[in-house]
Amino acid sequence: MGGLGCIGAIKVMLIVCAIGRTAHSSPPESRYKWTTMDWLEAQNVSHEVHNVTTADGYQLQVQRLPRLGAKPVLLVHGLLGSSLGWVCMGPERSLAFQLHHREYDVWLANLRGVAPYGRQHIDFTDVMVEFWRFSFHEHGAYDLPAIIDHMAKVTGGEHRASRGGSGADEGGIHQQVVLIGHSQAFNAFLVLCALHPRFSQRIQLIQALAPLARLHRQVRFDSFQVRHLMKFVKKREKANKFEIFPPGYFRKICQAKRDLCEYYAKQLAGSAQNNNKLLEAFNYEYLLQGGSPREIKHLQQIWKSGDFISYDFGTAENLQVYRSVEALSYNITQITVPIILYFGETDAIATPEGVHAIYAKMLRSVRSVRRINSRKFNHLDFLMSGDVKSLVNDKLIEQMEQFLEGRLPYVIE
């Protein structure tokens, strides 16, 4: 190897080693601005980029850490999230890397509205109000079907190629996918299963971290915080700012008003496992961002009504959209896809009571309800806790593998 080539190789090795050494500490300033692709490239891990177009015209980028022929696992971010949440704790503590190391075929979803991977549409730009007319309903009705169908097409083609191009598609276990989601992702999963029953045979297991489907009288914040948030949303709309939290917004505001940030983080997310790290997630440019007015309003409607309902447009528009004066209620009691739920003790929005209310409503499908073994564990700790590997990821993988092997114990904690 020539001198320059040798120097380049050494630089790459030093970068990878440095990332590995700092995996258990806060990332340096520069890494707060990294995207998912920056993380994948820095780890020198094999990865692919897939472009998926939904039936209503949104163009989404999905990242993949491929293992040909392996069990496909789709990781889906939650409210204001992105695929960055599955990689930003580095190779030792991030779920995407852990699953890849355990020989799973890992796919990272980016749903509509996510920067920079969910900002394209065949007709609209992301400064147009039309682009932001979505909530978790569209995530489940359009985004997830398009992504899962694309996964099946790709892995099916690889399977046929491995057999020399012969043989029919196998529609059984080979094509089934495991879904893992955080926060609002579970709402999208329920919409997917309720509106598209064909996916009930395509999804082998759903694992839901801090799910949000039951909010009425189950959250630990009060109407004052909700009203304040809705006033902020309305103010953004009046100013024609249809993205509620642009990339970097939280970082900027929390640097200027740290006390205010800490107050709302504790109120809306809950007391963290380590409150010295309470605002760590807000330092990242692309970790918490996006959000449409309708997305926030839809969650408010669930919180207010007590039902898991579609978006309520008001009487006149409901008649046009649903042919009913009221918003439709999703029939989640008929969902049969196996589900495992996880909750944190001090999560203010996906509370233990709220998660158990989901279990009570979905007895046919919930196979286990697990408490994270920490006295304090909030909504963002599922992604950012210093102990996320041992408390969340290792347990999640263990539960998943027990299920896949047919030996998952029925435990309700």
Q: How do 72-76 and 177-182 pair as beta strands?
A: parallel
Buried b (16+ CB within 10 A) or exposed e, 196-214: eeebeebbbbbbbbbbbbb
Q: Which amino acid is at 274?
A: N
Query: How far is the C-alpha of 194 from the C-alpha of 109, rounded, in Å?
Result: 20
Q: Whole-angstrom Cα distance, residue 94 to residue 389?
A: 7
User: In the 8-state DSSP scheme, what is residue 290?
Assistant: B
The Cα 228–Cα 240 span in angstroms is 19
What is the distance between the alpha carbons of residues 354 and 72, in angstroms, rounded to a whole number? Answer: 29
> Can you say whether the dihedral through the CA atoms of 254, 94, 106, 405 is positive or negative?
negative
Question: DSSP string covering 158-185, please?
Answer: HHHHHTTT-SPPP-SGGG-EEEEEETTH
**Long-range CB contact pairs, 95-102, < 8 A, 24+:** 95/180, 95/388, 95/392, 95/393, 95/396, 96/65, 97/43, 97/45, 97/65, 98/389, 98/393, 98/394, 98/397, 99/65, 99/73, 99/75, 99/397, 100/45, 100/65, 100/67, 102/397
Which residue type is seen at 276? N
Peptide bond into 72 cis (omega under 30): no
Catalytic residue numbers read 183, 347, 379
Alpha helices in 123-244 (DSSP H): 136-138, 144-162, 185-195, 223-238
Per-residue buried b or exposed e for 160-174, using 16+ beta carbons within 10 Å of the residue's own CB: eeeeeeeeeeeeeee
